[in-house]
A and B are shown apart, each in its own frame.
Chain A
Amino acid sequence: MKKRTSRILAVALAAVMLLAMLAACGPSGDTPGGNTGAPSGDDGEEKESILVGRVVPLTGSIANFGAGTPFIEEAAVEAINAEGGIYIEEYGKKLPIEFVVADSESNLTKASEAATKLILEDGVDIMIASHTADTVLPVAAVCERYQVPCITVDAPLDMWLDGGPYEYCYHAFFNSQTELEGFSAAWEIIGTNKKVGLLCANDTEGTLFAEGMTEIAKHLEGYEIVDPGRFTSGTNDFTDIINTFIEQDVEIITGPVITPDFSTFWKQCKTMGYTPKISAIDKANLFLSDVIAYGDNIGNGLLSEIWWDASMETASSLTGQTSQELADMYLEYNTDIQFAPGPIGYKHANVEILVDALQRAQSLEPEKILAALDETNLDTIVGHIEYDDDNACIMTIAIGQWVVNDAGEWEQHIVSNEYLPSIPLSGTPVAIPGSED
């Protein structure tokens, strides 16, 4: 009896194992991203849409960047889809654009697995990805392997280029040089001893930023880099780094840091009585909610890079919306925030580049899409996009400063626009309160 039971269980176990695998790998049904789960391409079924894979961090340490997806992307193609979509020659008809969203969980390995899933299960025709190197680079690697066209934005360009050369991927964003140029334009106005302390984590962006800044700073007159070494993201103790900055009389700190790390660092600076004149941190201070969350208004005076802003004098090639209108639309959707941050403009621009390429290619064949991307010459909501021989497009930045006004309300002043004049100035940079005591 026992033998029989064991055999039945063995068969049941095998059946369950197989069913579990098949269930997980079969059509996945409707998703928040609008995925129908139907693989596209050559499965014999009639093609109903252009499937666009979208890997984005919706949870985890950089989830703030992912906020707004898929609302922004779907709003961007709403009008085109209402007219039937984009004409695709192979199918002899217009096909609407459909986004299939996958969460990278702010994790590099998950981003890679998610991209693989989008390509192999959902059969996406093309991929778009954005929001830091931890999302963009693993997705680019997967797309190169599976030979799927991939359009990315929002990860420092030199970091993306470091993984090249690319055949299937195209990228647009600022690089270390344009970032330093943007920041240093603001530093010059404030006036400092030109000692720049690097605050860089031992991750991809931190390592490349430190190298890039050290090299570029050699060509900037009078600036001296103080590099206390890399820290491990998630650390609770920045004592050594802060002591180095104090000892070396550092008046400017800069580096690409995620918000949780900068929060720990900045609070510890306050505890140790150290206030530099300028904090020009990349990534951490893009979002007002994060700056407020530091508490006690200690975020007052922080500089942040501005890649796109509601005041930017640009308009969408897709919807005709101005930057202000796009920002207003997002603020109406997300009532929890006061300012539409840079990632919103770049999410929209990512779709602009996608649609432009597909409209010119009129095809879902990778070679034709790549040929169209090569010829991209487009004015988007974030600026002009034209790829070079490395499939890269260098963007520039303006500099913003978070300020608490006399009424106790937070504002972001655009304090330097030397390299991105389409964003008008709205203030003059000032040293962080307390730094000159």
Chain B
Amino acid sequence: MKFDGQTLAGNTGFKVGKKVLLVVVLLLLALLPMFPNSAYLVSTVTLIMIYMALGQMWNLLGGYAGLLSLGMQAFIGIGGYSLAVFSIDAGLNIFVAVFLGGVISVLFGLVVSPALFKMTGVYFAIGTWVVAEALMIFFSNWSVVDYAKGIMIRSVYFLTGEQIYYIAVLLGVISVLVVYLLMRSKTGLALMAIRDNPAAAESMGVKIFSTKLKCYMIACFFTGITGGVAYINLAYITPSASISTQWTIAMTFMVIIGGIGTMEGPIIGSIIYVALTQYLYNFPGISMTILGAIAVAAIMVVPNGIMGTIHNKTGFELLSPRRIMPPDWKKLLGVERAKEQVEAAGDKASKKE
């Protein structure tokens, strides 16, 4: 009998309330630019969507696959510079340029992954960071990207705030959907098994390298695409800003505050992060101090993140990748039969006595 993640996932599904909630949220997102005086809200939600997509990918690696990467900013830089170079120098359509950024990110990920996947834990984290720093230095000395001079991405000026918003919303929703579907697939189950116990996962037939690679490639692609969209919004790029640890700090902040290893964590984390940073612009000079204090306080009060804590206390999850065992799971697993066999063996033994 075939028994995989997909079969088990089939019995979960959304509850009606959750479906309604999701529809309402999506509807609000779709209609938001039509509200009067919503330009700033639209701009803020654009940022939330971009950061959410980044957070989802970081969470996919760190929260589900156990690949704590400190170097995802490399793909933001690749995505941003692909947009700049392909759309300005090569004259390509900006969406083609953004897509190419995703493809190049995958190729770059493929090149560095054999070396990176030889490392685990903190070594993997440092390895990814070193790769990103090396790429930043390479870009700073590469004529194709005009060294470290910075590029004004004039090719994106024609887009209005609303258009960028819809691009970002599409990206944000797709990123959530991709991670959700991935985690509810056989690969997702394998990833969590690798995260929890690599040796046991391998002994159960999980192919560690190829599973990690698949996950890493997906994260590379979407982080690259998100980098492109982020720079459609920012319109000015330099190597030091695009391949900056600031992005990783933001991703880590969002996922940890929101709840690592939960689908909703990066969503909540991105809302909190963007809302806080935007609000704190009103406190010039002390904004970083306040943000740091909030981060420390949040980690102390809710060490599992907001969604992790809510889940632990109430069991609530909006987008759960967890599988619910089907009603006939005992039959599927042969538990009843095993129980009968054990009981029969027990009876036999007692008769002998």
Contact = CB atoms under 8 A, between A and B. Distances in A.
15 contacts: A6-B316, A10-B18, A10-B316, A25-B278, A33-B284, A103-B284, A105-B288, A202-B137, A202-B140, A202-B147, A202-B239, A203-B148, A207-B148, A208-B149, A232-B137
A138 B276 contact: no
Nearest to B32: A21
Interface in B230-247: 234-236, 238-241, 244, 246
A102 B281 contact: yes
Nearest to B250: A109
B94 interface: no
Contacts of B274: 24
A137 B236 contact: yes
Interface string A1-30: 011011101110110011011111100110
Q: Is the interface of A mostly helix, strand, loop or mixed?
A: helix
A35 B157 CA distance: 28
A147 B76 CA distance: 27
A10 B40 contact: no
Given A103-B287, A108-B236, 5 more contacts: A31-B284, A32-B283, A32-B284, A144-B235, A163-B152
Contacts of A141: 152-153, 234-236
Interface residues of B, number: 66
A113 interface: yes
A59 B285 contact: yes
Which secondary structure dominates where chain B touches chain A? helix
B37 interface: yes
Interface string B272-286: 101111110111111
Interface stretch (B41-49, B54-62, B64-72): B41-49
B53 to A, nearest CB: 16
A31 B279 CA distance: 11
A120 B43 CA distance: 8
A342 B157 CA distance: 34
Contact of B281 (A7, A114, A207): A114
A19 B131 CA distance: 40
A204 B238 contact: yes
Given A23-B275, A112-B236, A7 B17 contact: yes
B314 A5 contact: yes
Interface string A281-321: 00000000000000000000000000000000000000000
Interface in A221-257: 229-230, 232-233
A353 interface: no
Contacts of B318: 10, 13
Given A20-B271, A203-B238, A113 B277 contact: yes
B150 interface: yes
A393 interface: no
B315 A2 contact: yes
Nearest to B275: A24
B352 interface: no
Contacts of B288: 59, 105
B285 A58 contact: yes
Contact of A162 (B40, B47, B149, B246): B149
A355 interface: no
Contacts of A14: 21, 24-25
B282 A28 contact: yes
Given A9-B310, A24-B279, A107-B246, A32 B150 contact: no
Contact of A109 (B154, B234, B315): B234
Given A21-B45, A39-B37, A113-B47, A163 B150 contact: yes
A29 B188 CA distance: 46
Q: Which 4 A-B pairs have the closest CB atoms?
A: A24-B275, A202-B140, A103-B284, A141-B236
A7 B140 CA distance: 51
A145 interface: yes
Interface residues of A, number: 69
A365 interface: no
A133 B150 contact: yes
A206 interface: yes
B314 A102 contact: no
Contacts of A107: 241, 244, 246
Contacts of B153: 141
A343 to B, nearest CB: 16
B46 to A, nearest CB: 9
B15 A3 contact: yes
Contacts of B7: none
A310 B150 CA distance: 34
Nearest to A24: B275
Nearest to B281: A102
A163 B25 CA distance: 39
A5 B310 CA distance: 12
Interface string B298-334: 0000000000001000111010000000000000000
A142 interface: yes
B39 interface: yes
A215 B94 CA distance: 34
Contact of B238 (A23, A108, A121): A108
Contacts of B276: 24
A101 interface: yes
Nearest to B18: A10
B235 A145 contact: yes
Contacts of A3: 15
A29 B235 CA distance: 29
A227 to B, nearest CB: 12
A188 interface: no
B310 A31 contact: no
A109 B310 contact: no
B28 to A, nearest CB: 8
Contacts of B40: 25, 39, 117, 120-121
